[in-house]
Amino acid sequence: MTAAASRPGRPLGHLPSASLPCPSPFIASIAFTAPIASMRADQLLVSTGLAPTRSAAQRLIEQGAVSWHSPKGWVPLKKAGEALPEQAELRITDDAELRYVSRGGLKLEGALRVAGLDVTGLTALDVGQSTGGFTDCLLKAGAARVVGLDVGHDQLHASLRSDPRVAALEGTHVRALAESPLRTLAPEGGFDLVVGDLSFISMVGALPHLDPWLAVGGQALLLVKPQFELGPQAIGKGGLVKDVTLYPQLEQQARDAALALGWSVQGWMDSPITGGDGNREFFLWARKTGLQHREGPTP
């Protein structure tokens, strides 16, 4: 009898063999519990091409417009920071936020609808072009050409930057248009339409700088943000206007400024959506008549 066979408790015929694999429960356990790669929900929306930017993805999630296919079926996403498997299937149930390169397009879309303006074939100036939400909206509504200007650089969405119907003047302040290259891009007689969305400066105060570029008979549709018009004393925590009773005063100031330039105010309307900070915003809609208002009796 061999030494191995003489050991008690070890039956003959069941000796370990070097030629046979010896499965390891430890290795099997490691393979079974390996973590699944995950990603934030907002990042996953962008990486899969369902949203152009993380901010757009976050707004979609906040609005309850995104669902993912969980092990329990389709579930609405609640938080932008929710961790999802990288291979998770997503779907958008409301794509309003994705119609334009930024939510500014939705603001202008609503204003154009309320005003009943048809921009087909028009040449427009977009003041405060930024990512290009207004520009995108105008082009999709049929505008022939849009010249945009912005004090910043490299903000315009790539799809618009490569569009031959779009020109962008970067590093250009609205108060310095007379010295800018805008005159080489403006149509003879002025633009058919001027739209604008300015931040950190007054839109009402910018009207005199826009007037020379608007054709007689042309129209303006300009976003007025109370937080940049009413002064710091009217602004509360988080940049929100704390005294909403000042809104009628702001409207009158805007109307008076337009009238002084020879613009006929066609309307004052709420933006269909609030600003990113939650502030209520307004659109001034006016037409340039070329007849400036004079104080006192006509000579």
Q: Is 277 found in the same domain as 187?
A: yes
Q: For residues 156 and 206, state if they share a domain.
A: yes
* Domain extent for 42: 38-98
DSSP designation for 235: B
Q: Are 263 and 220 in contact (CB under 8 A)?
A: yes
Sign of CA dihedral 216, 119, 137, 62: positive
- 213 and 142: one domain? yes
Q: Does the residue 16 lie in any domain?
A: no
pTM value is 0.72
Q: In this structure, are 64 and 153 located in the same domain?
A: no
| Count of domains for the chain | 2
* pLDDT tens digit sequence for 133-184: 999 999 999 999 999 999 999 999 999 999 999 999 999 999 999 999 999 9
Residue 195, in any domain of the structure: yes
Is 259 inside any structural domain?
A: yes
The region of weakest confidence among 22-26, 87-91, 148-152, 200-204 is 22-26
| pLDDT tens digits, one per residue of 34-83 | 567 899 999 998 888 888 788 888 888 887 788 898 998 888 898 999 99
Are 49 and 135 part of one and the same domain?
no
Other beta carbons within 10 angstroms of residue 234's beta carbon come to 18
CATH code: domain of residue 113: 3.40.50.150
First to last CA, the chain: 135
Query: Would you say residue 213 lies in a domain?
Result: yes
Q: Are residues 83 and 155 in the same domain?
A: no
Q: What is the dihedral of CA 80, 84, 89, 93, to 10 degrees?
A: -20
Same domain for 212 and 73: no
User: 142 and 284 share a domain?
Assistant: yes
85 and 128 assigned to the same domain? no
- Which residue type sits at 214? L
